Chains A and B, each alone.
Chain A
């Protein structure tokens, strides 16, 4: 019994602990920074791993002096809409490429995949011109429309894999029963692909949540900024970084996504699994 425990310890808990330590250490650092005053932060005599005189000033500053709530809302708004848009487009595209197998589906599949390769640094200046022509500059809609460029390729790929795992026979049976393709798609394929859709959705949500360069470039009004951009622009004042509020903001900005993940992580894994099953 105890031997088994020792084995489990060495093979499981120890490595797990080391990994968790490495992955979470920066979060611990952010967390304690969030509750430290500048005086404490710059005091090299103190042990930096403890909070000696916890202060809530940083949190107050974040909520009182900045529009943090508003930025969080904007980030949500953009992330959710961009996710829905990308998911819908990807769902249709993936199904068409994987299942309908129409003429030209192969090349289209590849080109969508290639879309993933283009680095934003090459795109954002030409994109700016398009955004202006569409008159969506300084509007959250510009982000909603641009984010799918990096979401669709991945989502489509993931969903293609997932459709592959759904037995073709189910569709064929329904078609023999006289259901139209569209109905088959809605009533059979989509429900079966739900775990895959969920994974793709979570993935898309995370990427939109974290995006920085486009949000910085195409949004101008303070009230329309997303959380990462807002935090950096308002809490970095010249050569003075407001470490406490910055770290507080960083933590709070990752909480919602973390929550989503803790609810859905099993589905996420399951969804990816489906995509990978042969």
Chain B
């Protein structure tokens, strides 16, 4: 029951015991399919879930614009099927994934606009009171499809009310991308699964004139993912599970920073300002031998650079002194706004899209881009059809959440948006700061969001009249 421990981070507002119970139940659901999800699952069997879409309902859906074309094809196809089945209408807006947050924030603060948003990371926890409770859907799906991956509980449940406020869609996740032949040249037969060997491999590659490259600029995905993974893998973290005690300026962080210098020495020039696309370009041009990225490089290589596709492979991010996988990936969840006037239709639509006949082919069509949030979908052929896809299947089970070990919420979102962690590594590797100075500065930056606001905001939220929510 690795997953139980994994979730011990706990949460604000929710007692530790409660939380472990929830986590345990989530984990147990793998083995004992159908076991109710603790407090969340008072409802009976999956069949009981019935929604009646309002007549002539029009749903406005906001989602990220596709990574692969087939994504949109299948998403639109599924939507069309639903429209035909219900007589309702869906207007889907695709915008670049990084802009979803801006638009969703606008929708939330104005209280009008999109009904359903497929947002990222902390989005639903920035405005939990504006979202429709989807505990019924979450419970149903949990039972029907082998249970949610453990991290989904962190992202899906509002720690204060212990209700689900969104449905985790999946994680467009990251693995190490490497060139097989170059790794062998450097004297490694297998990709290392521990960080010390990983550093050795990077050094050996560099010595052979094959530098590595990891985004260290303001790359929302690659930059944050890489450096959170690195920090956590050394046991460092920004905040304790109480969500208020900052603990970044500690030995673990200093170790991580010290080690990052060794890794940085193996990288090509320019990484300090790399955004998400840079490593794709450099890898495809054969300039770097190793980088952390989604499956997009492999996909582009298969289409346009077959030689590289044949010579590259993926591996899960190596494990550090922390002793267990501690990865960060982009995380996507679907949520319904309360201002939606056709909530039955919205729930019906979301559920429809999550059901196997729709969700399965859709995940298949994305060819490994998005790792599904429900365990049964791990069995889809896409994960084994090409062995190079397989590492991506397991990423979501290896991940922690933004703001670990605290709760997901406004402070974690602000800290990440501010690139506190990425900048900290940048300061040491590029800016020449000492690890201690960099960690102290980063902790101060994080404190801007954790200290003055964190104790206040939840307190205020608790005072809010609850009855309104339970409509």
Please provide the chain A residues from 163 to 213 with a CB less than 8 Å away from any CB of chain B in the complex: none
CA distance A239 to B222 in the complex (A): 9
Known: A42-B284, A125-B106, A217-B103. A233 touches B113 (CB 8 A): no
What's the minimum C-beta distance from B421 to chain A, rounded to whole angstroms?
19
Judging by beta carbons under 8 Å apart, are B300 and A220 in contact? no
Q: Is B39 an interface residue (CB 8 A)?
A: no
Interfacial residues of chain A within 14-56, with CB under 8 A of chain B in the complex: 37-39, 42-44
Identify A233's interface contact among B95, B110, B300, B305, CB under 8 A. Answer: B95
A238 contacts B67, C-beta separation under 8 Å? yes
Q: Is there a chain A Cβ closer than 8 Å to B102's Cβ?
A: yes
* Chain A neighbourhood of B279, CB < 8 A: 239
Across the interface, which residues of A come within 8 angstroms of B113, CB to CB?
Answer: 132, 137-138, 220
Residues of the B chain whose Cβ atoms lie less than 8 Å from the Cβ of A241: 277
User: Which chain A residues lie closer than 8 Å to B286 at the CB level?
Assistant: 44
Bin chain B's interface residue count. 35 or more
A268 to B96, CA, bound (A): 37
Given A217-B103, A221-B91, A239-B221, residue A37 in contact with residue B110 (CB < 8 A): no
Contact B222 A137 (CB under 8 A): no
Contacts of A240 in B (CB 8 A): 67, 277, 280, 296, 300
Chain B residues contacting A44 (CB-CB under 8 Å) are 285-287
Contacts of A217 in B (CB 8 A): 102-103, 106
The answer, yes or no, to whether B466 is at the interface (CB within 8 Å) is no
Proximity string of chain B (66-85) to chain A, C-beta cutoff 8 Å, 1 when within and 0 when not = 11110000000000000000
Name A238's contact: one of B281, B285, B294 (CB within 8 Å).
B294
Complex contacts, B210 vs chain A, CB 8 Å: none
Q: Which residue of A43, A222, A239 contacts B294 across the interface (Cβ within 8 Å)?
A: A239
Q: Is the CB of A233 within 8 A of B106?
A: no
Which residues of the other chain, A, contact B91 by a CB distance below 8 angstroms?
A: 220-221
Count, chain A residues at interface, CB 8 A: 28
**Residue A128 is within 8 A (CB to CB) of chain B in the complex:** yes
Query: Contact flags (1/0) for A129-142 with B, using CB distance below 8 Å?
Result: 10010000110000
CB-nearest residue of chain A to B303: A38
Interface centre among B91, B93, B94, B222 (most CB of A within 10 A): B93
In the assembled complex, B114 has its CB within 8 A of some CB on chain A? yes
* Whole-angstrom CA separation of A164 from B305 in the bound complex: 64
Residues of B within 8 A of A239 (CB): 221-222, 276-277, 279-280, 293-294, 296
In the complex the two chains form, what is the Cα distance from A128 to B106 in whole Å? 7
* A220–B172 CB distance below 8 A: no
Measured between alpha carbons, how far is A135 from B103 in the docked complex, in Å?
17
Contacting A at CB under 8 A, from B213-245, are 221-222
Tell me, in angstroms, the Cα distance from A138 to B93 when the chains sit together.
11
- Chain A interface residues (CB < 8 Å from chain B): 37-39, 42-44, 65, 124-125, 128-129, 132, 137-138, 216-217, 220-222, 232-234, 236-241
Q: List 7 A-B contacts (CB under 8 A).
A: A38-B300, A38-B305, A65-B69, A129-B109, A129-B110, A220-B91, A233-B95
| 9 closest Cβ pairs, A-B complex | A238-B67, A239-B276, A42-B285, A220-B93, A132-B112, A239-B277, A38-B304, A42-B284, A233-B95
Other 16 A-B pairs with CB < 8 A, given A38-B305, A125-B106, A240-B67: A37-B304, A42-B281, A65-B69, A124-B106, A125-B109, A128-B106, A132-B113, A138-B113, A216-B99, A217-B102, A220-B91, A234-B65, A237-B67, A238-B172, A239-B221, A240-B300
Instruction: State the B residues within 8 Å of A (CB).
Output: 60, 62, 65-69, 91, 93-97, 99, 102-103, 106, 109-110, 112-114, 172, 221-222, 276-277, 279-281, 284-287, 293-294, 296, 300, 304-305, 369
